[in-house]
Amino acid sequence: MNIPAHAPLHLLHTAAVGTLATHARQPEGFPYPSVLPFAPDSQHRPTLLVSRLAEHTHNLHADPRAGFLAFDAPGGDVLSGARVTLLGMFEQVDSTPEVVQRYLRYHPDAERYLILGDFTFWTMRLERLRYIGGFGAMGWLNGAELDPLAPLDFAEENALIRHFGHQLKNDGGVELLGVDRYGIDLKRNGARSRLAFEEVKPNGETLHAALEDCIQRGAI
């Protein structure tokens, strides 16, 4: 089946909440679904902030294999909306300034959980994914096919956010959450949105030009 170019990638930047399915310890082996907020990392993979006491965290320590479902259903029509199911292994990652800063851009309210000191970050190492975007737009991809390009450097992304973020917020109250080679993530009136580029931007110079163009055209 055909999958629109980069559609699963854009969906992972559009959705703010997903369903994590871990392997239950008791009763052993049963799927254990949880609904969790997530943020895409620089490789577009879901990053979770979870409590050490949560059942799904215990499950991941026992068996890191998991599924993760993200969807976008405008108007509540789930069957007509786009959804992607990811299969892979979740790995705990250190709370580096880069990981913390990126997650808090997408979920600023999560700072209160970090203060508690009982929460840890986990990121999925993607094996396969299945995307469904409507009739005739569905199929499987290997994890490496989600994005074959090297991720945008954290410092480059931060420089772009600093340069354009204040202008967007002052001009229209829009927050610039993230920048990558395929588009930008925005928040307006509390709602997240994704602005996809017409073509891939290979470096910081082309990204800078793309953001300037989007602002001048009023696309943001």
Q: Are residues 110 and 186 in the same domain?
A: no
139 versus 172: the higher-pLDDT residue is 139
Residue 127 shares a structural domain with residue 195: no
> Apex CA 209: angle with CA 208 and CA 212, to 5°?
90
Q: Are 83 and 185 within one domain?
A: no
- Give CA–CA dist 2/77, Å, rounded: 22
Mean pLDDT in residue range 160-166: 93
What is the pLDDT confidence band of residue 2, given thresholds at 50, 70 and 90? confident
Reported as a pLDDT band with limits 50, 70 and 90, residue 170 is confident
The reply to whether 139 and 182 lie within a common domain is no
Kindly report the length of the chain.
Answer: 220
User: What pLDDT is recorded for position 137?
Assistant: 86
Do 131 and 210 have their domain in common?
Answer: no
Predicted local confidence at residue 156, as pLDDT: 95
Strand partners, 86: 68, 129
pLDDT of residue 4: 83
Query: Is residue 127 one of the residues assigned to a domain?
Result: yes
* pLDDT at residue 11 tops 60: yes
- Asked if residue 1 has pLDDT above 70, the reply is no
Reported as a single tens digit per residue, the pLDDT across 112-152 is 999 998 999 999 999 999 999 977 789 999 999 999 999 99
Last residue of a domain, one of 145, 177, 203: 145
Q: What is the arithmetic mean of pLDDT over 78-82?
A: 85
Query: For 72-76, 84-88, 180-184, which range has the lowest pLDDT when averaged over its residues?
Result: 72-76
Q: Are residues 140 and 121 in the same domain?
A: yes
Report, as an integer, the average pLDDT of 20-38: 96
Domain count for the chain, please give it: 2
Q: Is residue 186 part of a domain?
A: yes
Give the end of a domain, one of 89, 122, 145: 145
Query: Same domain, yes or no, for 180 and 110?
Result: no
Residue-wise burial string across 43-78, b where 16 or more C-beta atoms lie within 10 A, e elsewhere: bbbbbbbbeeebebbebbeeebebbbbbbbeeeeee
Residue 180 lies in a domain: yes
Q: Which residue has the higher pLDDT, 93 or 75?
A: 93
Q: Identify the domain boundary among 99, 126, 145.
A: 145
Asked whether residue 64 is domain-assigned, the answer is yes
In a domain, 2, yes or no: no
- pLDDT-based confidence at residue 30 (cuts at 50, 70, 90): very high
**Where in the sequence is the domain holding 188, given as residue range(s)?**
154-216
Residues 97 and 136 in one domain: yes
Query: Are residue 167 and residue 111 in the same domain, yes or no?
Result: no
23 and 85 share a domain? yes
